[in-house]
Structure 1
Amino acid sequence: MSLAQQLQDAWNRQAGWLKLLRPLSCLYRFGFLLNKQCYRWQLKKSYRAPVPVMVIGNITVGGSGKTPLLIQLVKHLQHHQVKVAVISRGYGGKGPFPARVTLDSHPDDVGDEPCLIVQSTAVAMAVGPNRQASIEMLLAEDQFDLIICDDGLQHWALERQIEWIVLDQQRGLGNAKLLPEGYLREPVSRLQEGTVIEHAMQPSSELNMHLQVAQPYLLNPIEGQQESFQSNEYYNVVVGIGYPQRFYNTLSSIGVTRFHCFEFKDHHEYDIEDIHFDDQSPIITTEKDAVKLLPLLKQYPDYQRQIWVVPVDAVLSDACYQHLAQQLAALNITLV
């Protein structure tokens, strides 16, 4: 297990030894707040895009359901004739940046989540650490009503008109400590500054979402092997996401209870050896991981182990859509 995975496990367990990291958390807090104040005092310049910007992010490290939420919002906006584009850091991608994400983009170049977003929505998208450059690349090609910034909550160099903060009830806030003692990127007080979307099956807020599991599908149909999903079969779980436990819970919800876990770090770059096992059991994985496994299968066409993918869709409360409509109306963006 890597150091990053050990730390993630300690956060999830709220291990007592994390208190030893408190001095580092204090340094992180000082540096973070100083950087934020530099933008407020205009000692550092921030970029104001010529079109409204909506940021979707979280204050925790690891998965919160943000990507499925973003995908659902893009589909909703497209349905209502809002011309939307998306930008992202492109974490895990090697560039060169800024890079336009297309249906033919490789996750090694632009990142796995951007590939998944574009494959799911066909939205105009650009990635790179310089968000201004990504926006300018998109606006040089077309006009847009709204730009959504994926996971840019702490990127103060970009001004924004709307902020949605996804808060996962299942993970909660852990020990409510900042990195590295806890998994908070920002203090809990940050939740008072944006629109908080509670990710929960039994929410306490009107603004909420949950993930709905769709029918698993085969990533690589193999001649002579069954192509119907069997929940009672034994599976090798291959997962490289921020919070693997959520996927295990998803598997349980569809009746998959017999499996062995092979966990990798978030945004892991898969090698063919990562999906070779001693037994003959099929693999089951997430859509995010499937984006990276598919190019690997094309490199090794003789690979003979079935890989099943479990898709999930974000289901938003009516109040979320009503709140979004009000926020957009304030920016003179009308849903048709």
Structure 2
Amino acid sequence: MKLNTPRWWYDRERRHAPMARMLLKPLSWVWAAATARRIARATPVDPGVPVISIGNLTVGGSGKTPVAREILRLLRAADIDAHALSRGYGGRLEGPIRVDLAAHTAADVGDEPLMLALDSPAWIARDRVAGARTAAAAGARALVLDDAHQNPALRKALSLIVVDGETRDDEWPFGDGSVFPSGPMREPLRAGLARADAVVVLLPADAPGADPELLATFGALPVFVARLQPAAPPPPGPLVGFAGIAKPWKVERSLKAAGAELVDFAPFPDHAAFRDQDLRFLADRAAQFGATLITTEKDWSRLTPEWRTRVVGWPVKATFEDEAAVSAALRAALTVS
């Protein structure tokens, strides 16, 4: 969803933007009702192979794609030919089509499918059922759906909810529980958790541990803790960073925590299409500091080939603290299905 994420969405004490919350609340009721009705009326289709859903309950910013990549890696390690399937948000192609890194750009298939295709076969399809059947016919023995918790089209063998586990006094993953647009929730918390099989709490690499109060929110659901950590260190020397993700401020924090000499940082809307004038401004800003431009690997995928030579893409990865437990849950889901 291409928007500037309001920081006040994540303020569960409602100390900020009270008027905006009040004015947007009726739209939230409409959104929640429409989502619930769509899910209740659906008849999920079995595509003939097990489906593992990686979703979340909020509008972006939870870390679904790194978790999906790690789930795909664990399935490969178990000799299971798993393919990724995404809607291809931000791309012009409707699919079903397999992502080709040599031929497709983010404008074709979206940035997240390009990330998934770095490691595994990846498909995009507006019609998830058609995409699943096409992938299965092409040899997939399991499918990992990126961002599909609110999409009821396919029968799921395992539904994982990814939650941003970083909590602060002024930042709670679900805010006050309000549904979009008066808050970050795609649907009410209880409704979303009721369809989940387990929760993945994603923490920064340097966080002390999962917040006990947050863990209590999930009741009896199994919880797997994962760490989002650099796949490579930031380059040495001064850096000017920028990011167009749902929570760009977390990229700034992560770069500093990784030891980056960050002299400036620019936030952009989620899935931003970077304009040449924006990038020239950033390049001029970097020149003032004698700095290198750096962004997320996902944002880097949306740059033109020319700008990719001038910007460093900083990769991160999700690593489970108890990898064996996650692998066991995957095996159980695949066996039952």
Q: Which TM-score applies when normalising by structure 1?
A: 0.83
How far did residue 257 of structure 1 move?
5.2
Q: How does 1:143-162 map to 2 (within 5 A)?
A: 144-162=140-158
The residue that corresponds to 1:167 in the other structure is 163
CA offsets, 1:204-262, max 9 Å, x none?
45511111123346xxxxxxxxxxx225x1x3222111111210110110223543232
Alignment length (residue pairs): 303
Contact 1:272 1:296 in 2 (8 A): no
Equivalent of residue 231 in structure 2, options 211, 214, 231: 214
CA offsets, 1:68-108, max 9 Å, x none?
11111111211221110110010000004222102212111
How far did residue 295 of structure 1 move?
2.8
* 1:140 partnered with 2:137: yes
CA–CA separation in structure 1 for the residues paired with 2:329 and 2:110:
32
CA–CA separation in structure 2 for the residues paired with 1:250 and 1:10:
21
Detail structure 1 runs of 4+ shifted over 3 Å in the superposition: none
Equivalent of residue 302 in structure 2, options 280, 292, 295: 292
Give secondary structure in 2 for the equivalent of 1:21: helix
Residues 248 and 92 of structure 1, relative CA distance in 2, 3 Å threshold: same
* 1:262 partnered with 2:272: no
Contact 1:271 1:296 in 2 (8 A): no
The residue that corresponds to 1:224 in the other structure is none
CA–CA separation in structure 2 for the residues paired with 1:176 and 1:148:
28
* 1:236 partnered with 2:237: no
The residue that corresponds to 1:250 in the other structure is 254
CA offsets, 1:33-65, max 9 Å, x none?
2222222xxxxx432211111100100012111
How far did residue 292 of structure 1 move?
1.4
Q: How does 1:281-320 map to 2 (within 5 A)?
A: 281-297=291-307, 306-318=310-322
Equivalent of residue 130 in structure 1, options 127, 130, 146: 127
* 1:273 partnered with 2:269: no
Residues 157 and 315 of structure 1, relative CA distance in 2, 3 Å threshold: same
How far did residue 283 of structure 1 move?
0.9
CA–CA separation in structure 2 for the residues paired with 1:176 and 1:257:
36
Give secondary structure in 2 for the equivalent of 1:31: helix
The residue that corresponds to 2:67 in the other structure is 69
Backbone CA RMSD of aligned residues: 2.3
CA–CA separation in structure 1 for the residues paired with 2:328 and 2:105:
34
Contact 1:216 1:309 in 2 (8 A): no
How far did residue 294 of structure 1 move?
4.9
How far did residue 287 of structure 1 move?
0.6
How far did residue 198 of structure 1 move?
1.1
Contact 1:56 1:152 in 2 (8 A): yes
CA offsets, 1:154-190, max 9 Å, x none?
0012221110001112251112111111110011112
Give secondary structure in 2 for the equivalent of 1:174: coil
- Structure 2: 5+ residue stretches without partners: 167-171, 216-222
CA–CA separation in structure 2 for the residues paired with 1:47 and 1:295:
40
Of stretches 309-318 and 52-61 in structure 1, the one that deviates more from structure 2 is: 309-318
The residue that corresponds to 1:118 in the other structure is 117
CA–CA separation in structure 2 for the residues paired with 1:182 and 1:295:
37
Give secondary structure in 2 for the equivalent of 1:332: helix
Residues 16 and 214 of structure 1, relative CA distance in 2, 3 Å threshold: same
Equivalent of residue 325 in structure 2, options 319, 322, 333: 322
